[in-house]
Amino acid sequence: MDLDHEDLTALLTLYDRRMRLGAPADPGTRVERTGPVVRQSGGPDDWNGVLWSDLDKDTADAAIAEQVRHFGPLGAGFEWKLYAHDRPADLAERLRAAGFVPEPTEALMVARVEDLATDADALLPEGVRLVPVTDPAGVDLVAQVHEQAFRSSAAGLRARMLAHLAESPETLSLVLAMAGDLPVCAARMEFHPGTEFASLWGGGTLPAWRGRGIYRALVAHRARLAAERGYGYLQVDAADTSRPILLRLGFAQLSTTTPYVYGGQG
């Protein structure tokens, strides 16, 4: 993406306004603004957390305490999704002091859909094909790949994907890369109606199949779907392993984001 500093600043402002301050709710959850905070609340298997805040040194601690009081009775942990440009500058320290635990920082990356390759077949290695996922059996395979690729439980993710497919299938795209009968990579994309953004998630590839272009093919596949629906941008929270690939594909880094977790959010 050939964007100058002013372009990136404007795009970050747009992202904050559409995807944080005006965030559409995940299926089965509610998004609400309470004072200087926008949060999403749902059940134990949903993503619960703070999406946006407008705080300063005089309001931050009270806002943090209020979110702990709100989410506690819901019976699930929650996440404060902190971005590098959020204020006050010491918000991370205040969250840690309140009992939040930081997870690995990721890069907030965005690309114009029109700048991306969309021919997935041209990038796939021989013998690998893409298969859309629309049923529980396919979701089970996606969860299986996630656990093998990321070495973490996919129980909560599986429950969220099943609920999403049941309640709002038009806003979710799941895809598997199959080598014969073996699922070797899985990814998903969420469409956010009323915004210019679709978001990419997953993209986990089994270790033995990495470095063959499958991840790039899955990005191209999802870019094509986003283009067909008229979305202008793809957004990714990129780990260190995927950030260099995304930069080469045409994504730009707008900021960083760090999940600060309180309790048992999964």
Task: Give the C-alpha separation, 101 to 84, whole Å.
Answer: 16
When pLDDT is averaged across residues 11-28 and rounded to a whole number, the result is 95
- Predicted pLDDT of residue 76: 72
- The dihedral region occupied by 262, where left means phi > 0, alpha psi between -120 and 50, and beta the remainder, is beta
* Model confidence pLDDT, tens digit, residues 97-149: 999 999 999 999 999 999 999 999 999 999 999 999 999 999 999 999 999 99
- Predicted pLDDT of residue 266: 46
- pTM flag (> 0.75): yes
Query: How high is the mean pLDDT of the chain?
Result: 95
pLDDT exceeds cutoff 80 at 1: no
Distances from the Cα of 90 to the Cαs of 58, 62, 97, 262, in angstroms? Answer: 12, 14, 11, 18
The burial class, CB within 10 Å (0-12 / 13-18 / 19+), for 21 is middle
Res. 265 pLDDT band, cuts 50 70 90: low
Closest CA to 183 of 156, 161, 206: 206
More confident residue, 161 or 6: 161
Find all residues with CB under 8 Å of 139, minimum gap 6, and list them: 133, 158, 161, 162, 165, 174
